[in-house]
Structure 1
Amino acid sequence: MVVILSFFALFLSLGSLTRGSQSGPDDESYLNSRIKSVVVLVLENRSFDTVAGGFSYSSDIDNLVNKRNYCNPANISASTGGTVCATPTLPNVSVDDPSHSISGNNMEVFGTFHPSDSSPETMQGFVTAQALTYNVNVSLAGQTIQYWNEWDIPVLRTLAQNYVLFDKWFCAVPGPTNPNRAYLTSGTSHGHGKNDLAFNVSAIPQRSIFQQLSENGISWINYSNTSGFLPDALFYSWTASSGATQTNVKTLGQFYMDARAGTLPQFTYINPECCKLQSFHPSSSAYDGQIFLKTIYEALRSSPQWDEMLFIITFDENGGFGDHVPPPVGVPPGDDLTYTEIAPDGKPVTFDFTRLGVRVPALLVSPWVGEGLIEHEGQNNGGVYTHTSIPAFLANLWGLDYLTPRVEFSSTFEHLIQEEKRDTIQTLPMPHVF
């Protein structure tokens, strides 16, 4: 009988973890006493090495300046033609927008449009993919593996140096923007592997974090500066049919007013403009992107809500820009859907949403996190940080269910919330045009 009862107690404890609650210092009450509001800003189309490849303030960062000389062959299928190596020479505005389709990612990561299950992730195909996409010379194609000089991106560098930088955070899909944003906000893209029409007509059917929060009485607003496409909350048919379009989707101007007044909701989700001004997506400039990020941070830092806030910054996908760390395998989202597209060689490519995408920058910003910390692999669940770590954290924060198996797989970061609040910088440096 003792054995049976012990097994039953263990089963109940495992069940409680599946529902998103945890025991000890990471439990819901511990988090709730410190974090009352969460703000998520998802920027566009830059890899980790593009942004943080030159950060020298910590030798613990797995980046280019600390770890290795990273090069790509000019043509991955030819034994001649030379190589291109990464240097801190990426310009303020990238000339071309690299390929970031599923098949393009295959070429960049595996060196072929059609990898097998045993194909090695060489991370050697970024220059080749760019040359094939735009028929450009090696010098221009080589921009895909160059990175920003750390002194040219002082806003990003200062945030990283003052808060928590994740150097093993991977995008959810080795593909474009909207499938990744769907994973971040619902734990699946429902089989979508490209930015197709369904995202622009609120035809994505699955339950999202926005629906989940409303069902649990947790306030949220999607503040958006988008034009020409829908803000992320409006991907979903529930948002359009429930009336939340009118009540929970606001302009970015309203965000600044709400931050100043201390009336931000419990969950704030911010869409930047894309793709010419402030999102970092080519042809957006690094200068304008930093100005935007600076204004968002300073609005939050001066808000009456700052002392109980967690601000999460990430990039939706690498955008075809190079990174030297091979992405891991995750788990599928549980809907058993696949996506097929035609690769540039005219042959079909089918993807089953198991493999994660390339590493992207992610930052945890709050008076409740440490200064200048570097977070590597995750410490719970599947041991991997990816975009679905955000809805997984929200589940643990507010006692919600995990939306999909991918969400349940994703590591969360409660352990980074400290016991004591600390003073934090009020303003970020002004960037310059370079």
Structure 2
Amino acid sequence: MQWNITAPARAVGDRHPDEEAPDLNTAPASQPWPWWQVVFILLLLTIMSLLSLVTVLSLGLGISAVPHGPSKHAKSPIKNVVVLVQENLSFDNFAGGLTYNPTIDNLVNRKYCNPSNVSDPHSLLVCARPIAKNVAPDDPDHSISGGNQQVYSTYHPDLSDEPSMQGFVTEQIASYSIGQNLSRAAEVINYYSPDHIPVFNAMAENFVLFDRWFAAVPGPTNPNRAYLTSGTSHGHGMNDDDFLTSALPQVSIFEQLSAANISWINYSNTTDFLPDALFYEWTATSGKGDTNVKRIDHFFADAKAGTLPRFSWINPECCDYMSFHPPSPIHLGEGWIKSVYEALRASPQWNETLFILTFDEHGGFADHVSPPEDVPPGDDLAYTETAPDGKNTTFHFNRLGIRVPTVLMSPWVGKGVVQNRPHDQPGEFTHTSILKYLAELWDLEILTPRVQWSPSFGHLITDTFRDTPEKLPEPAEF
């Protein structure tokens, strides 16, 4: 379409005195405007129309002139997060026999063996079988140097060593001088069948099981629990006295939540260790150790009343009867995790709750999957200890611990889901993935480089509510 816009003609009488009178028999010529002026006028009119429309909508419909999108989890159905960290079982040891989903990376249809002497290629092989005992006869070595031997077949791995996962039986024999009793040594590599662990099997079958979730540290309990709650152990690689005197100086999730006015309680059933929140100077000096650390009976009462805080952290008993740490009987541990689940399931808050069950570390029990290497540490502190051969070994917290069983439970997660590697994020699922998820859920700052590297599991929270079992099976005493 061609626009023919002409300037308006001046009236005949409107002329300067010096102008000659026009020839009234000749019509004035119409002069078209330059094209660029036409385009400019049209563009200006369009912009003014759009601005007017936005103003009307803003005033009439209450729409912000500069809309702000919600944060990633602003509409999450999860309002309460409950974390229970049990003790000292590897994934293969506890979940190695699960059969409900053939994609689980475990020991079903897999032959996994260790030599009885990793230095002797002709030594007898000890192979995993689903005959683990209800009460383990020994507590395997789960120190940093013991973990080195189990994973690398040496107490002193260097950059040229590949993780072989062949040293568990050798280390067990060395720890207990049982070279002539391979059936006893085999307890470190044997595993449980679904019939042995009906409670955990039902949890996994009804919710989300991670089959590639790694402990944070290839070592003992408290360094892993520190990583779980702060993203670093501050250079600690053993259960030393700092954990008994509230000496850790770093910021923890508990301090973060208090600063953000998010309620939390550390419910504790432990007797031999301080509850995890009391590892930290801040908890002890702020008064939160008196107000926010409570005995386990408060958990069951709060769950029943529907008054659980937004974040509940549960310490189990440790380490004799229901934490799973040897010599705890497996069936008593099963009864304990059943009681926690059923209390949450019966709570008025269940429909807004995410329950995370994991284990602090592998406890020296075997697993066939190599832990990731070249992982960002929580800080720049290293740890040195004396290995059983009398030489020092130094760990820089740059690789993860061994796989541990982990389950997400909620009416907002899928049924029977098996989560392996993260598909759309770097890193590997590990203990600090919990801190990454909480940071996204509640807009918290990332605590450490390890947390930043860890993937979140927020994608496993769906927008579909579903019914879940009110009761789990009874434990099996065997």
TM-score (norm 1): 0.93
1:26 Cα shift?
8.2
1:28 Cα shift?
2.0
Partner amino acid, structure 1, of 2:232: T
Q: Determine the structure 1 residue equivalent to 2:348.
A: 304
Q: How many angstroms apart in 1 are the aligned matches of 2:185 and 2:272?
A: 29
2:131 is aligned with 1:57? no
Question: Which stretches of structure 1, 4 residues or longer, exceed 4 Å deviation after superposition?
Answer: 23-26
Q: Deviations over 1:208-228 (max 9, x none)?
A: 000000000000000000102
5+ residue gaps, structure 2: 1-67
Partner amino acid, structure 2, of 1:29: A
Q: Determine the structure 2 residue equivalent to 1:28.
A: 73
* Structure (1 or 2) with the greater helix fraction: 1
Judge conservation of contact 1:105–1:175 (CA < 8 Å) in 2: yes
More displaced stretch, 330-339 vs 81-90: 330-339
Q: How many angstroms apart in 1 are the aligned matches of 2:70 and 2:148?
A: 41
2:87 is aligned with 1:44? yes
Q: How many angstroms apart in 1 are the aligned matches of 2:459 and 2:388?
A: 44
Q: How does 1:214-253 map to 2 (within 5 A)?
A: 214-253=258-297
Q: Determine the structure 1 residue equivalent to 2:241.
A: 197
Judge conservation of contact 1:310–1:365 (CA < 8 Å) in 2: yes
Name the CA shift for 1:320/1:172 in 2 (closer, same or farther; >3 Å).
Answer: same
Judge conservation of contact 2:375–2:399 (CA < 8 Å) in 1: yes
Match of 1:415 among 454, 459, 467: 459
Judge conservation of contact 1:380–1:412 (CA < 8 Å) in 2: no
Partner amino acid, structure 2, of 1:57: Y
Q: How many angstroms apart in 2 are the aligned matches of 1:318 and 1:426?
A: 30
2:357 is aligned with 1:357? no
Judge conservation of contact 2:233–2:378 (CA < 8 Å) in 1: no
Q: How many angstroms apart in 2 are the aligned matches of 1:285 and 1:380?
A: 39
2:310 is aligned with 1:266? yes
Q: Determine the structure 1 residue equivalent to 2:429.
A: 385
Q: How many angstroms apart in 2 are the aligned matches of 1:171 and 1:254?
A: 28
Q: How many angstroms apart in 1 are the aligned matches of 2:418 and 2:137?
A: 31
Judge conservation of contact 2:376–2:453 (CA < 8 Å) in 1: no
Q: How many angstroms apart in 1 are the aligned matches of 2:378 and 2:145?
A: 22
Partner amino acid, structure 1, of 2:131: T
2:146 is aligned with 1:104? yes
- 3-state DSSP of counterpart to 1:227: coil
Match of 1:370 among 414, 423, 428: 414
Q: How many angstroms apart in 2 are the aligned matches of 1:26 and 1:104?
A: 44
Judge conservation of contact 1:330–1:409 (CA < 8 Å) in 2: no
Name the CA shift for 1:106/1:24 in 2 (closer, same or farther; >3 Å).
Answer: farther
More displaced stretch, 295-304 vs 112-121: 112-121
1:79 Cα shift?
2.4
More displaced stretch, 75-84 vs 347-356: 75-84
Match of 1:179 among 217, 220, 223: 223
- 3-state DSSP of counterpart to 2:446: coil
Rg (Cα) greater in structure: 2
Give % identity: 59
Q: Determine the structure 1 residue equivalent to 2:170.
A: 128
1:382 Cα shift?
2.6
Q: Determine the structure 2 residue equivalent to 1:5.
A: none
Partner amino acid, structure 1, of 2:465: K
Q: How many angstroms apart in 1 are the aligned matches of 2:125 and 2:378?
A: 41
1:190 Cα shift?
0.1
1:24 Cα shift?
9.2
1:379 Cα shift?
3.4
2:129 is aligned with 1:78? no
Q: Deviations over 1:360-411 (max 9, x none)?
A: 0000000000000000012354331000000110000000111000001001
Judge conservation of contact 2:89–2:362 (CA < 8 Å) in 1: yes
Judge conservation of contact 1:26–1:415 (CA < 8 Å) in 2: no
Q: How many angstroms apart in 1 are the aligned matches of 2:257 and 2:354?
A: 17
Q: How many angstroms apart in 2 are the aligned matches of 1:148 and 1:159?
A: 15
Judge conservation of contact 1:38–1:268 (CA < 8 Å) in 2: yes
Q: Deviations over 1:7-28 (max 9, x none)?
A: xxxxxxxxxxxxxxxx999812
- Greater RCO (Cα-Cα under 8 Å, separation 6 or more): 1
Q: How many angstroms apart in 1 are the aligned matches of 2:259 and 2:423?
A: 29
| Number of aligned residue pairs | 409
1:138 Cα shift?
1.7
Judge conservation of contact 1:41–1:313 (CA < 8 Å) in 2: yes
Q: Deviations over 1:92-144 (max 9, x none)?
A: 00000000000000000000101111201100000000000111122211110
Q: How many angstroms apart in 2 are the aligned matches of 1:191 and 1:381?
A: 27
Q: How does 1:121-160 map to 2 (within 5 A)?
A: 121-136=163-178, 137-160=181-204
